[in-house]
Amino acid sequence: MYTTIMPALSSSSSSICTFLLVFLLVVRASNCAAKATKSSRPPRQLSVDYYAKKCPQLEQLVGSVTSQQFKEAPVSGPATIRLFFHDCFVEGCDASILISTNPGSKELAEKDAEDNKDLRVEGFQTISKAKDLVERKCPGIVSCADILAIAARDYVHLAGGPYYQVKKGRWDGKISMASRVPYNIPRANFTIDQLLKLFNSKGLTLEDLVVLSGAHTFGFAHCKQFVSRLYNYRGTKQPDPGMDPRLLKALKMSCPQFGGNPDIIAPFDVTTPFLFDHAYYGNLEAKLGLLASDQALFLDPRTKPLVQQLGKDKKSFFQAFSIAMEKMGSIGVKRGRRHGETRRVCSMHT
């Protein structure tokens, strides 16, 4: 159940929209979670037709689930894309984020890491439902890792973004440890230097950083991820001067510095929060970025030109995003029984 608060903000600047919708939703935080460790191995070969003979209807099966889930719970889209990102950045794209901690185990699985507790349940539900359907038609054939990659693509397209071919052939990982999550997931207050160091460690470039950040064209963040920008930006005890005053005022109304509701969230893209488009980049130019790490992309001279370019050209963004998603989807791919498995149930090792 959602409670939506939509304050209208007046603007004194003709260059920004007269009215800006800021959605603040009260939701129940899920205990869902995330990933594991660094993946510096070179990507193994993947192919679009990997399941052409053994499960030719795979994409239709996954698509039937994602389309229904998107109608029932649109937040499933950004939730699943974030799940895919977290999976690839920790231990590689191997569905290790989906493993549940064994009862009584001293070692928590990735999804139970502190950094992953904000991952929404709808993303996990999507993959579980799709896997159940695929197993009924193609038992023991398709990896959870490939289903996650396909579902992420589906949601990008369902929300208005590009449709791109997904290369397949990933095996599911055998290792899922919460201790491998820290330092592999970017923080909301990261500088460009910190972001580049992390992305470079995954084989991704500055351009990949800017383009993949465009996934914040839809989805939401909890107050705790940006509250420091509202009251004590980088220890100054003042708000971030790089945030539009109207947005600052609206966010302060529902995100107090202390004692606020931990379940309140706000959209990354305050202009078209439920569409996958290129408005995110225009928002950064207008000082409407939600996270400090988002707004930093426009402030840093290394990334600013690309932000401006993508903000003017949706087609270029869609093309670049498709390429970057394929590249990210190749991080740390597992192949063979020595390093991987094909799980029957995504939350349990075979």
Q: In whole angstroms, what is the distance from residue 62 CA to residue 128 CA?
A: 11
- CA trace torsion 77, 325, 161, 294 (10° rounding): 80
Token pair for 133? 């359907």
Nearest to 185 by CA among 44, 106, 84: 84
Angle at alpha carbon of residue 195, lines to 91 and 217, rounded to 5°: 90
Residue-range domains of the chain with CATH: 57-180 (1.10.520.10), 192-329 (1.10.420.10)
- Let me know: does 20 contact 270? Beta carbons within 8 Å: yes
87 is in an annotated binding site: yes
Given a cut of 60, is residue 228 above it in pLDDT? yes
Nearest to 166 by CA among 148, 184, 183, 178: 148
Confidence category of residue 44, pLDDT binned at 50, 70, 90: low
> What rounded mean pLDDT belongs to the chain?
88
110 is in an annotated binding site: yes
Phi-psi region of 150 (alpha: psi -120 to 50; beta: other; left: phi over 0): alpha
Report the share of the chain in percent with pLDDT over 70. 87
pLDDT one-digit tens code per residue, 134-184: 999 999 999 999 999 999 999 999 999 999 999 999 999 999 999 999 989
329 is in an annotated binding site: no
118 is in an annotated binding site: no
Confidence category of residue 339, pLDDT binned at 50, 70, 90: confident
Confidence category of residue 278, pLDDT binned at 50, 70, 90: very high
Q: Any idea which residues carry the catalytic annotation? A: 86
66 is in an annotated binding site: no
